[in-house]
A and B are shown apart, each in its own frame.
Chain A
Amino acid sequence: MGKAYELRLYVAGKTSKSVAALENLKKLCEEHLKGKYSIEVIDLLEKPQLAEGDQIFAIPTLVKKVPEPVRKIIGDLSNEEKVLVGLDIRAKIKN
């Protein structure tokens, strides 16, 4: 897995969920994707026009643009296992 991860986190203001999501994401990336990721945080309160492009409806939403396929993870990213599966870092494990 030499490819870089392009991650976008959509938030709406500094809500507790947004803050938690960003913290969880940073921690997780440092652990599993050290050195090969970039995180872009988009605040929809400031740029509402960007919501349509990535089909955002829930907040917070993490969008993995690269590598393909595009995946979305919504929520505060508190379940590490699910996030890793969602980002295709770890294959889905039964149970």
Chain B
Amino acid sequence: MAKSKKQLEARSTGTIPKTLTGISGLDEITLGGLPSGRPTLVCGEAGSGKTLFSIEFIVKGAMEYGEPGVFMAFEEKAEELKANVASLGFDLEQLEKDKKIRLDYVHIDRSEIEETGEYDLEGLFIRLGYAIDSIGAKRVALDTIENLFAGLNNTAVLRAEIRRLFQFLKSKGVTAVITGERGGSGLTRQGLEEYVSDCVILLDHRIINQISTRRLRVVKYRGSVHGTNEYPFLIDDEGISVLPVTSLQLNHEVSTKSLSSGIASLDKMLGNSGFYKGSSILVSGTAGTGKTSIAATFANAACLRGEKCLFFAFEESPKQIIRNMRSIGIDLQKHLKEGSLEFYASRPTLYGLEMHLVAIHKAIKKSKPSVVVLDPITNLITIGSVSDVKTMLVRLIDFLQAEQITVMFTALTLNNIVNEQTDEGVSSLVDAWLLIRDIESNGERNRGLYIMKSRGMKHSNQIREFVITDKGLDLVDVYLTEDGVLTGSAREARMLMEQTGEVIHAQAVSRKDRELERKRKILESKIESLRSEYESAEEELNKVYVEEALKKQIMGETISKIAGLRRGDNGGEEKNVNKNK
């Protein structure tokens, strides 16, 4: 009943009914799982994960989707199987007791069997049918029916019977996974199963440059579209995780919120705000230019804001990074303890690129950070070609942008072609690119930082000197002189020199001032003496004038007196006489 309801639902959406496998990532590639009520072939070489795939399909069905399942093993005994999957946390024993799954081991031993005349595999069908009916199974896994060919001689019968088996499974309405060994030129040894299955999934385990990568491909899927690429997958303690490459559209949400880089002067260069949230930032530079320090500062800033940061270290161990960052005044240990910072350290050569990507995916899905640091991506090149690394990063950036996670990569640039290529390759993907350059002069090496690009930001075009102090990172204006750009101690020396110059200059100025003052004083005193000279001359002149006037007056008076005496007869004359006497 439940099944028919599901089928109706699926039909209304216009596709064939599908059954979720519960294998992470696979359901996205197949757009909803395996075809319901039909057989699916999972083929691959030895050790490619076929058995795990089939058992996970059954167990997840029983545990997560309430669909009981039958697992019919031709290779491993039930006990072996139970022990093997116990490491994945699958308790088959309990599930079997709860009648959610049923294990049936079909033992075929050639030495015990003699074939005489006509036979068919009705016994197997009855057995399977009984197992299905006894728990009302919706899912069936057969691992691996090819073993029949190893145990029996009459291939003509077997081929016919396998065809019938697929029909039988369809008539039972169960969603079946049949595993097949890969061989010869076809997908399976018999070249039969792939034609009678409605869906074929190929598992592959390739070793390139001594590093293994597991891949999965949906070869065919009747009546449905599906992803046709090869998708890398990972087998770890949680089973299989397949990584669907990228969403096909470029329609992520974007944010105008920005995050501080942790270096105030760098934020200023980035239009006063820092990086956009959800953007990707590349920090590249030659060895020892402080890329990890920038990354750690960025992580530290995120943690201080109370955000979660995931630090992928491909070069140094977490402890090493913590110790080294302490020397520039960044305490990562504290964040680690508080849980806002998480490290994920692995050697690049541990596994292939794709596997790294899957592992990164998983780690991010698990801890849901808002900031991710990858330090450095260059080391990944040791395990893959440039284009491989690029595709991997495209996928990663795509995924991170969809999740609105800000990511900072660091990349080492050497003066060789391969690495420059990566720089260029990656640079078109990232939103912001900081480049740290060595500036060599006067027998020392200094760091110059500039912003190559920063999408959607009015960023500075200056080259700044990047200094690492025990209090953290800082950017200083480089010193521009007539001799060119000065950095490091040359800059310091120049600054000192100019300071001295200023003092000397100031002194010179004051000396001149004093001299002038003195000159002024001399002149003033000269002016004073001249004035007094002038005054005395004027006085002299005045004296002459007064005397002259007095003379004139007195003379006038005397004349008039004489005249009066002459005109005034007795009185007058007598007086004169008396006077004369």
Contacts and interface: CB of A to CB of B under 8 A. Distances in A.
Interface in A59-74: 59-61, 69-74
A26 to B, nearest CB: 15
A56 B127 CA distance: 8
Given A12-B122, A17-B120, A75-B119, A51 B114 contact: no
B130 A59 contact: no
Size bracket of the B interface: 20 to 34
A68 to B, nearest CB: 12
A17 B116 contact: no
A38 interface: no
Given A52-B104, A57-B106, A76-B119, A82 B124 contact: no
B118 A59 contact: no
A83 B120 contact: no
A83 B114 CA distance: 8
Nearest to B108: A57
Given A44-B122, A45-B126, A58 B152 contact: yes
A86 to B, nearest CB: 3
B127 A75 contact: no
Size bracket of the A interface: 20 to 34
A95 interface: no
A76 B115 CA distance: 9
A76 B121 CA distance: 13
A49 B108 CA distance: 18
B123 A57 contact: yes
Nearest to B157: A58
A73 B116 contact: yes
Contact of B123 (A51, A75, A77, A79): A51
Contacts of B113: 71-74
Point out which of B104, B108, B127, B152 has the most chain A C-beta atoms below 10 A from its C-beta.
B127
B130 A75 contact: no
A37 to B, nearest CB: 17
B117 A78 contact: yes
Point out which of A12, A52, A69, A75 has the most chain B C-beta atoms below 10 A from its C-beta.
A75
Contacts of A21: 117
A57 B127 contact: yes
Contact of A83 (B116, B118, B127): B116
A85 interface: yes
Contacts of A45: 126
Nearest to A86: B114
Contacts of A15: 122
B136 interface: no
Contacts of B107: 55
A18 to B, nearest CB: 9
A38 B13 CA distance: 61
Contacts of A55: 106-108
Contacts of A76: 116-119
Contacts of A72: 112-114
Interface in B76-129: 104, 106-108, 112-124, 126-127, 129
A2 interface: no
A48 interface: yes
A63 B131 CA distance: 22
Given A56-B127, A59-B120, A70 B112 contact: yes
B114 A56 contact: no
Given A57-B121, A58-B152, A79 B126 contact: no
Contacts of A10: 123
B127 A74 contact: no
B117 to A, nearest CB: 4
Contacts of B131: 52
15 contacts: A12-B123, A15-B122, A17-B117, A17-B119, A21-B117, A44-B123, A48-B129, A51-B123, A51-B130, A57-B121, A71-B114, A73-B115, A74-B114, A74-B115, A79-B116
Given A17-B119, A44-B127, A55-B107, 19 more contacts: A20-B118, A44-B126, A48-B127, A52-B104, A56-B124, A57-B121, A58-B119, A58-B123, A61-B119, A69-B112, A70-B112, A72-B112, A74-B114, A74-B119, A76-B118, A77-B116, A82-B114, A83-B114, A86-B114
